[in-house]
Amino acid sequence: MPHKRRRSLHVRAFSRQDLVLAPARRPRHPRRFARLRRLYRAAALRLDDRQADRLRRHPRAGHPPHAHRALGDGRRGHQDQRRAAPGADDGRQLRQGRHQHPLPGAQARRQGRGQEVAGARDAHSARPSAGRRQHTAAGCGRRGREEGAVVSWLSVTLETDCAHAEALADALMEGGALSATIEDAAAGTPEEKPQFGEPGSITTPGWDRSRVAALFAADADVAACVAAAASEAGLAAPPPYGVEEVAEQNWVQLTQSQFEPIRISARLWIVPSWHDAPDPAAISLVLDPGMAFGTGSHPTTRLCLEWLERSVRPGQSLLDYGCGSGILAIAAARLGAAPVIGVDIDPQAVAAAEANAERNAVSARFLDSAAPLAGQFDLVVANILANPLKALAPAICGHVRPGGRLALSGILAEQADELIALYAPWIPLAVADTRDGWVCLAGEKPEVSAC
Q: What is the CATH number of the domain that holds 274?
A: 3.40.50.150
Q: Is residue 414 part of a domain?
A: yes
Q: Are residues 338 and 366 in the same domain?
A: yes
- Per mean pLDDT, which of 64-78, 193-207, 254-268, 288-302 is the most reliable? 254-268
Same domain, 298 and 208: no
For residues 400 and 75, give the distance between their C-alpha atoms in angstroms, rounded to a whole number.
31
413 domain-assigned: yes
pLDDT (tens digit, 9 = 90+) per residue, 433-448?
999 999 999 999 998 7
- Domain annotation covers residue 21: no
Neighbours of 435 (CB within 10 A): 15
Strand spans (E) along 6-105: 9-12, 18-21, 55-57
Residues 288 and 152 in one domain: no
- Does residue 97 carry a pLDDT above 50? no
CA distances 283 to 263, 270, 271, 317, 333, Å, are 10, 9, 10, 19, 11
Q: Is residue 199 part of a domain?
A: yes
Q: How far apart are CA 283 and CA 273, in angstroms?
A: 14
Instruction: Give the pLDDT of residue 276.
Output: 84
Q: Residues 6 or more apart from 270 whose CB is under 8 A from it?
A: 261, 262, 264, 284, 285, 287, 295, 296, 297, 327
pLDDT for position 320? 96
- Among residues 253, 271, 288, which one ends one of the domains? 253
Pair 183, 326 in one domain: no
Higher-scoring residue by pLDDT: 4, 170 = 170
Name the maximum alpha-carbon separation found in the chain: 94
209 lies in the same domain as 340: no
Residue that wins the pLDDT comparison between 100 and 414: 414
In this predicted model, what pLDDT tens digit does every residue of 241-295 receive, in sequence order?
999 888 877 766 676 677 788 888 888 988 888 888 888 888 888 887 765 566 7
Per-residue pLDDT at 143 exceeds 60: no
Residue 288: domain span: 259-444
Lowest mean pLDDT among 13-22, 164-173, 239-248: 13-22
Confidence of residue 90 (pLDDT cuts 50, 70, 90): very low
How many Å apart are CA 142 and CA 200, to the nearest integer? 43
> What is the model's pLDDT at position 350?
92
9 occurs within a structural domain: no
* Mean pLDDT computed over 81-88: 45
350 located within any domain: yes
pLDDT at 31 over 80: no
Residues 148 and 202 in one domain: yes
Whether pLDDT at 91 is above 60 = no
Does one domain contain both 236 and 294? no
In terms of domains, do 270 and 249 share one? no
Both 240 and 321 in one domain: the answer is no
Among 188, 219, 253, give the residue marking a domain's end. 253
pLDDT attached to residue 83: 44
| Whether 386 contacts 411, CB under 8 Å | yes
End position of a domain, from candidates 214, 233, 253: 253
Please count the structural domains in the chain. Answer: 2
Pair 348, 82: CB distance under 8 Å: yes
339 cis-preceded (ω within 30 degrees of 0)? yes
Residue from 259, 258, 279, 257 nearest 268 by CA: 279
Q: 331 pLDDT exceeds 80? A: yes
Region of 206 on the Ramachandran plot (φ > 0 left; ψ -120 to 50 alpha; else beta)? left
Q: Does position 396 have pLDDT exceeding 80, yes or no?
A: yes
Q: Would 135 be classed as within a structural domain?
A: yes
Are residues 219 and 266 both part of a single domain? no
Asked, for residue 248, whether it belongs to a domain, the answer is yes
| Summary mean pLDDT of the chain | 73
pLDDT at 1: 44
Q: Which residue has the higher pLDDT, 147 or 240?
A: 240
The proportion of the chain whose per-residue pLDDT surpasses 70, expressed as a percent, equals 59
Provide the whole-model pTM. 0.57
My answer on whether 121 and 160 are in the same domain is: yes
What's the chain's length in residues? 451
| 59-70 pLDDT, tens digit each | 444 444 444 444
State whether 197 and 67 are in the same domain: yes
